[in-house]
Amino acid sequence: MYQEQYRWHREADLTDIVARQGGEAALRYWNTGLQPESKDDASPVTIADRESEQLIARAIEEAFPEDGLLGEEGSAKQSRNGRRWIIDPIDGTRDFVRGNRAWAVLVGLEVDGEVVAGSAYLPAMGEMFTAWRCGGAFLNGAPIRASEISAPSQAVLCVNQFSNVRGQAFAGELLDWMAQFWAVRSMGGCLDAMMVCRGQADLWLEISGKPWDFAPLKIIAEEAGAKFFNFDGGSSIYGGNCVICGPGMEAAARQFLKI
């Protein structure tokens, strides 16, 4: 058990280090009126995104030259050993360019298809969330745990990507379902997810996302005692959407999604 608990500790330390380095690089541009460009999918990107990702990718390659890379801004390297690092240099670029604090640097390590370590760093808030398989989940070094709340009337629900609700199978039922919760929030993807992981919220619906949006969130959630699953009942960072919830809210989420 001891060996398993610390098996991925070195890799988790690296996710922490490189996420912090990437965040410090991005902070130099934050709240400066930086203007974004638009990518092919209409999402914004800035020089801060690119510089942060390049810095993170270089540091990972130096530490683990056999490992693969997948980054939102184009970092790509074939793995030679079944290990791949997944990078989102600025999750929440729209918040970043408008001077809001709800943006993060996300770094996760996937081994043979499973995320085993990851960090989510919110530089403007000074919050570093880190986890590794069988090692626990932490905020700035202190353990965190998801809530045990099971009654929606006492629970905080977070929903991201309201603009993409149309077209979802549950679109016509969402407002009535939300009405049963104690409160509803939409602070931003990573921030909402980390609120669940630290017990400040109880259920998060993310309607649209990529693997770099989900990789570290999945391992942090699971190690904090929360549940991670897709709208079709799977549990993949490649599912295009996800639920993160405390264990007491899993049944309510699955019932709503009909899975």
**Residues 169-211 pLDDT 10s:** 999 999 999 999 999 999 888 999 999 999 999 999 999 999 9
Q: What is the mean pLDDT of residues 8-17?
A: 94
Alpha-carbon distance of 40 to 162, in angstroms, equals 21
Helix residue spans in 132-209 (DSSP H): 174-178, 189-197
Angle between helices 9-27 and 47-63 (to 10 degrees): 150
β-bridge mates for residue 76, sequence order: 70
Q: Which amino acid is at 249?
A: M
Tell whether the model's pLDDT for residue 43 goes beyond 70. Answer: no
Q: Residue 233 carries which DSSP code?
A: S
**Residues 69-121 pLDDT 10s:** 999 998 999 999 999 999 999 999 889 988 999 999 999 999 999 999 999 99
Alpha-carbon distance of 143 to 146, in angstroms, equals 11
Q: In the structure encoding, which two tokens stand for residue 257, read together?
A: 């999604």
> pLDDT averaged over the chain?
93
Question: How distant, in Å, are the alpha carbons of 71, 105, 228 from that of 86?
Answer: 6, 11, 18
Question: How distant, in Å, are the alpha carbons of 45, 90, 206, 228, 245 from that of 180?
Answer: 37, 33, 19, 22, 16
Q: What is the mean pLDDT of residues 128-140?
A: 97
pLDDT confidence of 16, banded at 50, 70, 90? Answer: very high
Backbone angle region of 240, left / alpha / beta, with phi > 0 → left and psi within -120 to 50 → alpha: left
| Claim: this prediction has a pTM higher than 0.75 | yes
Angle 152-154-155 from CA coordinates, rounded to 5°: 60
Question: How distant, in Å, are the alpha carbons of 90, 162, 234 from that of 239?
Answer: 21, 18, 7
Dump the DSSP string for 5-36.
Answer: HTTTHHHHHHHHHHHHHHHHHHHTTTTTTPPP
Tell whether the model's pLDDT for residue 153 goes beyond 70. Answer: yes
Tell whether the model's pLDDT for residue 42 goes beyond 60. Answer: no
